[in-house]
Amino acid sequence: MAAVADHGVTQESLFITASDGLRLHVRAYRPAVFGASTRPAAEGTPPVICLPGLTRTEADFTPLALHLAGDAQQPRPVFAFDYRGRGQSDYDTDWRNYNLAVELGDVLTALTALRITRAIFIGTSRGGLLTMLLAATQPDVIAGAVLNDIGPVIEPAGLLRIKGYIGQMAAPRDYEDGAESLRRLFGAQFPGLYDTDWLEWSKRSWRSTPEGLVSTYDAALANTLQDFAPNQPLADLWPQFDALAKKPVMAVRGALSDLLSVETVAIMRQHKPDIEIVEVADQGHAPLLSDAPMLDRISAFCRQCDELHTL
């Protein structure tokens, strides 16, 4: 059942069946009209699709989704995805299906079920990889793209750090204990966060069950990185990034990121001179996209995509 938030936005959990029968969860945010101050989304305005990181869920996008759906200048529908094995989506009995090809197929299945033929994609980390792959395979569906701390080249140091903790964090006693665990693990990359920020992060990372807190992702995801070694070069995605050449693109980089380098961002600009680059101070991988300046920056970018869409 949809619920109306005080932001003038309705929220609803949708469940879509993947091609192999797994149930996939999508959180839908839709503008709700309250008086003349908020006008409904214009017909033809592209919705926003939010794609999270490797072990993350749709909950990471709640502040951004509420902001975009409730934008006084141009509200729009927002759909935030849980990949298989994350959030409220079903876990796969075969961890080998936690790969980009299968997840890209799931995204396409969800877009078809939602009857979305064109959208602005906001992809954090793995979500950005999926966005680039989508640009190479289904370019017409992309009205614009925000790549959050990801590019065609992934730094091995960052991936090695992720491999070191994925699926290995002990369940905390409570959310406060979880917040302290996250602070110890990520504090160096996010030195500016407050206690309340860490507590909210904790609530997005574990869910309450009768047996206690459990992770919001399948620990079997760790198997997907078991063969990674820093001395083995990773395949780059420059052809997939170049598929975005004619699309509006914003690249967000955390100033303390160890996954997206300054050098890669510079080459991205060489490939696409009109790319919009945003560096977020005092944040690493991946920027949270939740502070007011960033919310406004992404809103403005989406409106630019609207203008190009109507040309």
Helices and strands of the chain, counted as H and E runs: 9, 11
pLDDT, residue 34, reads 40
Give the domain CATH number at 90: 3.40.50.1820
pLDDT, residue 309, reads 59
Q: Per the domain annotation, does 232 fall within a domain?
A: no
Nearest to 279 by CA among 159, 271, 269, 179: 269
pLDDT, residue 45, reads 86
Nearest to 71 by CA among 308, 259, 301, 250: 301
Q: Per the domain annotation, does 42 fall within a domain?
A: no
pLDDT, residue 75, reads 94
Q: Per the domain annotation, does 170 fall within a domain?
A: no
Q: Per the domain annotation, does 204 fall within a domain?
A: no
**Integer Cα distance of 122 and 63 in angstroms:** 13
Q: Per the domain annotation, does 245 fall within a domain?
A: yes
Q: Per the domain annotation, does 188 fall within a domain?
A: no
Tell me if 113 sits within 8 A of 79, measured CB to CB. no
Give the domain extent around 110: 3-34+47-52+60-156+238-310
Mean pLDDT by 10 residues, the chain (311 residues): 63 97 97 51 79 98 97 94 98 98 98 97 98 98 98 96 93 97 97 97 96 96 92 90 98 98 98 98 97 96 84 50
Burial of 194 per CB tally in 10 Å (0-12, 13-18, 19+)? exposed
Q: Per the domain annotation, does 305 fall within a domain?
A: yes
Tell me if 248 sits within 8 A of 118, measured CB to CB. no
pLDDT, residue 4, reads 47
118, containing H or E segment: none
What's the predicted TM-score (pTM) here? 0.94
Q: Per the domain annotation, does 212 fall within a domain?
A: no
The structural domain count of the chain equals: 1
φ and ψ at residue 188, rounded to 5 degrees: -65, -30
Tokens linked to 296: 């406004």
